Chains A and B, each alone.
Chain A
């Protein structure tokens, strides 16, 4: 199963890219694959991806963590509060620590006290929001440039890089609007254009996670806590230790995501800037079948959809067309593999979307606003059957209890 995944993913990606290219040419929405869009897409993919990675750590150890949003909020606050006073790097570290503390509290409630994981996660979200709202009002109102829900500007920035050698020629190629070639160039040049160090760190973290969890004894034991903690216990593995470790890391990653939002994406802490990305991160984790590679791909896709909020009308039209074509293709595949009900459902969605595209000249920005969430829902609804969550995910575990 491990071996079969890679070619399938590649096939999906190439198919998607082809479709995107066709859409661009047909609709003339050249921004769909421009360097700028791609660069922004990768950027927005980072917080979503980090949240997804955080969710992955936690659920691989058997703890369902919906408190990622609250931990991310703590991260944004930490970055803003430390960042405006001491600079971006300190802000970064503080964000990670704050997120990790949220994870620790969550671990205390779920692992030690055995509180229901969803309830505990919701409590963390409420607490995170309340705490940051209070502290923001208290600390930022009187600070220069700050306000009741916003911190002053974080001073300094985290370094960004542009690999001119790669980006420039590809950018030129992209501007030529050639079918497929320009699109691919756009994607690659976007990756190397104004690349934040946090993005690089994120990619590294994904790679590190894959290595740690799948190539070390530590990782094997952590995953065993999420697959069959009773078997692990019978072999001497300290299950609760791994669960704690995992949720703290999960919180730290969410905090890092918050740092990105505050420091790189906007430059301030602002109330509400997480906008549900903690939950979208969970969706990418599910989309990625609880694996780092899949989660990264999911994050990239959702990041892309997220950027389209910033683009103009023509491009939103392009997105709608892309969505229509995608739905129709998925529908065809489903019908071919014999899944009639799903196939028909998707065809109906596709026709609805298609009619919307054909009948409207322009689309309200709310469409782009709603797109990430709608996509999440559709993805979850389709992918449900093929998913392989860790077997003991979400199941409460107590040391010494027989199963």
Chain B
């Protein structure tokens, strides 16, 4: 593709953050009037790239060319001026405003001093018809479903004159029928000359809609394919995404026993829109077993954890050590041996404004060594905090500092140490080594293996394939709230794992 037919070109983009290279040597060439998909797993660098495309970050090196003209994007306003419009994954809509009000906010047509709603309506109707994006202008957004909301976000940018649309994981929240509607709209947009950049990890969908595909992995672009010219299969794409080799699993002995610690049957969790984000899921974990759950984030993992913790309403049954705990409170579950390393440590796992030793107590504040009867045991908690600091290598000036003073990695180490104390029977570990340096990560894995050998049952949720394959005895793949397959870490191939995770199909 020549420069003149490219709507947007990125060359040699590098972006670094303290201690981390987010994008390295990224090259992207988006054909004018095409639908261009950028695919990759979580952590592949898509988010950062997208922020650069939209002017929210400036690259450290490299050039950006829009319609053949090299340019600098210093802020989202610059991007808007150049006709680049971003449709965020998390919609920015005012629930109590109508669709019309949400779209025109900040760019209102006026008749003297009053709002000229008639003009707004006409303009929007024209736009909606032109691009086949029908939305009910006078409904409150709170009444509308996800598909409509997305169309509103697209109209928002079109209303401001965008010619290049960036959509961030647009199908993450859609059901298949809504996906079809979206794609139909995208094709209509394309027919009108709009260029679309589409960021996703769902390979089957990408293959259905994209004219061009760029694959990212580990911060760089690894491949650019044009499916119309050279057909590519989903499996091939999946392999590109996850890498041609998977980590080798740990070949230590099998410690899985026959004793069932956790038995989940037909678990279903619905979100506020009524959609089942966890759909009829069943599994068992035995003492001495680590069950890994693979899957792109947002497919129901967080909700499974919430359900096991007892903080959301569920249907289905949860049995722990042969007792039905479905109706048990969170406190009771924790007191009886359920430990959780939460996904969002600052919101669910820590009291940022409290000292470390008080954080050590969080989740276990009713049992030893933190408490004796109704009273707390600060001396006991402090002593045990020092133990955790030593055993889990928490880098801290002391145990009286606030948790907020620790780096993310050290916070995580504290949490892991805390949750593994007190001889839990079941550990739910959600991204347990997120933000932790490599050395400490290995140490945490060793702790997990030791506990497993001693009979701990672990539910491991992770986006890190090293971790999943290295630790799990078996891996279940979660896609759109359902388990689609179970694989053996010793024999699984990248293609199979990648395809299952992304729904690429066989």
Contact = CB atoms under 8 A, between A and B. Distances in A.
Does chain A touch chain B in the assembled complex, meaning CB atoms less than 8 Å apart?
yes
Interface of A: 1, 211, 215-217, 220-221, 223-224, 227-228, 230-232, 234-237, 388, 390-391
Nearest to A388: B96
A227 B97 contact: yes
A388 B107 CA distance: 26
Contact of A234 (B92, B96, B107, B114): B92
A231 B94 contact: yes
Contacts of B93: 228, 231
Interface residues of B, number: 21
Nearest to B98: A2
A391 B93 CA distance: 11
Given A1-B140, A234-B76, A236-B77, A217 B110 contact: yes
B95 A215 contact: no
B108 A390 contact: no
Given A227-B96, A234-B76, A391-B95, A220 B114 contact: no
Contact of B92 (A221, A223, A231, A236): A231
Interface of B: 76-77, 92-97, 101-102, 104-108, 110, 113-115, 140, 156
A228 B97 CA distance: 10
B378 to A, nearest CB: 29
Given A221-B105, A237-B106, A216 B113 contact: yes
Contacts of B114: 211, 215-216
A343 to B, nearest CB: 25
A294 to B, nearest CB: 15
Given A216-B115, A230-B92, A234-B76, A221 B106 contact: yes
A303 B252 CA distance: 79
Given A217-B115, A232-B105, A237-B105, A224 B97 contact: yes
A220 B105 CA distance: 7
A1 B138 CA distance: 10
Contacts of A1: 140
A220 B96 contact: no
B106 to A, nearest CB: 4
A232 B106 contact: yes
B117 to A, nearest CB: 8
Contacts of A220: 101, 104-105, 108, 115
Contacts of A221: 105-106
Nearest to B104: A220
Contacts of A217: 108, 110, 115
Nearest to A211: B114
Contact of A224 (B76, B77, B94): B94
A236 B106 contact: yes
B51 to A, nearest CB: 11
Contacts of B105: 220-221, 224, 231-232, 235, 237
Contacts of B115: 215-217, 220
5 contacts: A216-B114, A227-B97, A235-B106, A236-B77, A236-B106
Contacts of B77: 236
B352 to A, nearest CB: 16
Contacts of B95: 227-228, 391
A265 B101 CA distance: 41
Closest 10 CB pairs of A and B: A235-B106, A231-B92, A227-B94, A217-B108, A228-B94, A236-B106, A237-B106, A215-B114, A224-B105, A235-B105
B313 to A, nearest CB: 19
Contacts of A216: 110, 113-115
A93 to B, nearest CB: 25
A228 B92 CA distance: 8
Contacts of A230: 92
A237 B105 CA distance: 8
A391 to B, nearest CB: 5
Contacts of B94: 224, 227-228, 231-232, 391
Given A227-B94, A231-B92, 6 more contacts: A216-B113, A217-B108, A217-B110, A220-B104, A228-B93, A237-B106
